[in-house]
Amino acid sequence: MSVLTSFLTGLLFGVGLIVSGMTDPSKVIGFLDLAGAWDPSLAFVMGGAALVGAGGFRLAERRPTSILGGLRQLPGTQGIDARLILGSATFGVGWGLAGFCPGPALVAFGAGYDKAAVFMIAMLAGMVMYEFTERRRMARATDE
């Protein structure tokens, strides 16, 4: 059941990305290019998604568990630290260079774009690098 609903949710998310125009990197870069001819479309995507999403989170909070029965696993509200800001800024540089973030890159990969495939492989490599540095950090922390 969770596999099916997860697949359908991913499918809907992906169709939403295509409809929104965000699977085209030149449109994302058009939003990020404040000094050129500016395309504000991305703000409308985020606005529409956050609006409906907010309703979903409100409804979810009224339930003790999720519909599938598990407990909600939402991120906690730790403080704002250097990791969050530096990590996000690093992400933003890559996002600006390619015009891809993870969701649209996966959809464009599904549509058969070579460059999206290269982006995906490099992105997975970056995620693996994170896992290695995290494990080293954890090991150091337990040694001390």
Partner 1 sequence: MMIDWAHFTPWGSFAGGLLIGVAVAAFVLIHGRIAGISGILGGLLRPAGQDVGWRIAFIAGLLAAPALYALFTRLPSATIEAGFPVIAVAGLLVGLGARYGAGCTSGHGVCGLARLSPRSLAATLAFMTAGFVTVFVVRHVIA
Whichever of 36 and 143 has its CB closer to partner 1, that residue is 36
* Shortest spacing between CB 142 and partner 1, in angstroms: 15
Nearest residue to 5 via CA among 93, 67, 51: 67
Residues 14-43 that bind partner 1 (CB under 8 A): 14-27, 29-30, 32-42
User: Which residues between 44 and 103 bind partner 1 (CB under 8 A)?
Assistant: 44-57, 59-60, 63, 65-68, 70-75, 77-80, 83-103
CB under 8 Å to 5, separation ≥6 — which residues? Answer: 68
Q: State yes or no: residue 127 binds partner 1 (CB under 8 A).
A: yes
Which residue number, 36 or 141, has a Cβ lying nearer to partner 1? Answer: 36
Name the token pair of 18.
């295509």
End-to-end CA distance of the chain: 44
Contact 30, 41 (CB under 8 A): yes
